[in-house]
């Protein structure tokens, strides 16, 4: 008998669709019985599937995820591209709108402090794997997000900011590679295979300095933490010129701030959760200050 745990507010139609997928693609597991559990988190719409012998994670391509620039097909291709690194979950099934990957056992770094040097070494491994063919289209993402923002929150200053980013040229990449773009304690798993990364829905090809700018800004790392990371990253072969890498990271920081602001605003409009506005406010103040000073 199929069991469901988790909040009753999870849409039943998503659960039913996943049950149907398991019945079609994994009939033996369906017959033997399994348990579905909605997985909590910022992303949402992910489900843990527990069978008698194995555990998976199912991720749906919902309209909300599409509005945020997520593509399960791209996610699947990247995971297959880097499978030899043993740094990420393996793909078990791709059947639109579902992507099913293995469930990685272990503890997240929310429970244990991030070990900066091992993380640097892991990201060097990822960045040495080479691009997979789907580049991050940051301006296209800004344009997509602009359409999803609560129109009541727009202002002339924000319009000027949007126009400025859309007109400006992106920094010329130092080195193109697969980048994860969402490295934070909740997406870092420590288990039998060492440090691994989950939640690859924003991964794409991009500049390694953009990845590091996102890592530093998104986690609020202080200068000392950044320096320790960069020393470990360059020592492991990530990039030879640490000074040049630092300069490139600085070029990307305004773009990262705007990317994060837009994401928080879209999530606010999707969910009504004011926590996203709280997270967005420091970014708004920093970015809008640049608009005022440039007038």
What percent of the chain is predicted at pLDDT more than 90? Answer: 81
pTM: 0.91
Average pLDDT over residues 200-216: 98
**CATH 3.40.50.1100 describes domain 3-103:** no
C-beta separation of 186 from 108 below 8 A: yes
Residue 245: what pLDDT? 98
3 against 140, higher pLDDT: 140
Q: Where in the chain is the domain with CATH 3.90.1200.10?
A: 108-293
Residue 96 exposed, middle or buried by CB count within 10 Å (0-12, 13-18, 19+): exposed
Say what the pLDDT of residue 4 is. Answer: 36
| The 91-95 sheet, strands edge to edge | 3-4, 35-39, 46-50, 55-60, 98-102, 91-95
pLDDT tens column, 77-133: 999 999 999 999 999 999 999 999 999 999 989 877 788 999 999 999 999 998 999
Range list for CATH 3.30.200.20 in the chain: 3-103
Strands of 188-191's sheet, edge to edge?
107-108, 188-191, 194-197
Residue range 108-293, CATH number = 3.90.1200.10
Q: Is the pLDDT of residue 294 over 90?
A: no
């Amino acid at each position: 008998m199929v069991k469901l745990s988790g909040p009753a507010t999870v849409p039943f139609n998503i659960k039913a669709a996943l049950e149907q997928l398991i019945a079609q693609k994994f009939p033996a597991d369906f017959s033997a019985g399994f348990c579905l559990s909605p997985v909590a988190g910022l992303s949402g719409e992910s489900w843990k599937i527990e069978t008698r012998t194995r555990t998976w994670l199912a991720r749906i391509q919902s309209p909300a995820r599409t509005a945020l620039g997520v593509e399960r097909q791209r996610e699947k291709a990247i995971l297959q591209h880097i499978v030899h690194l043993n740094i990420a979950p393996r793909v078990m099934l791709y059947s639109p709108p579902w992507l099913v990957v293995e469930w990685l056992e272990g503890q997240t770094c929310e429970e244990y402090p991030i070990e900066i040097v091992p993380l640097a070494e892991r990201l060097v491994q990822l960045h040495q794997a080479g691009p997979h063919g789907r580049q991050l289209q940051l301006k296209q993402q800004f344009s997509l997000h602009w359409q999803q923002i609560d129109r009541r929150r727009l202002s002339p200053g924000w319009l000027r900011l949007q126009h400025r980013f859309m007109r400006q040229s992106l920094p010329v990449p130092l080195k193109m590679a697969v980048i994860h773009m969402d490295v934070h304690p909740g997406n870092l798993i420590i288990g039998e295979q060492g440090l691994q990364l989950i939640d690859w829905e924003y991964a794409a090809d991009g500049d390694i300095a953009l990845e590091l700018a996102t890592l530093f800004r998104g986690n609020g790392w202080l200068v000392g933490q950044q320096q320790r990371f960069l020393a470990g990253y360059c020592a492991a072969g990530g990039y030879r010129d640490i000074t040049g890498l630092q300069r490139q990271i600085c070029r990307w920081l305004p773009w990262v701030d705007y990317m994060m602001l837009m994401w928080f605003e879209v999530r606010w409009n999707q969910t009504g959760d004011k926590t996203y506005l709280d997270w967005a406010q420091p970014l708004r103040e920093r970015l809008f200050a640049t608009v005022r000073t440039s007038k």
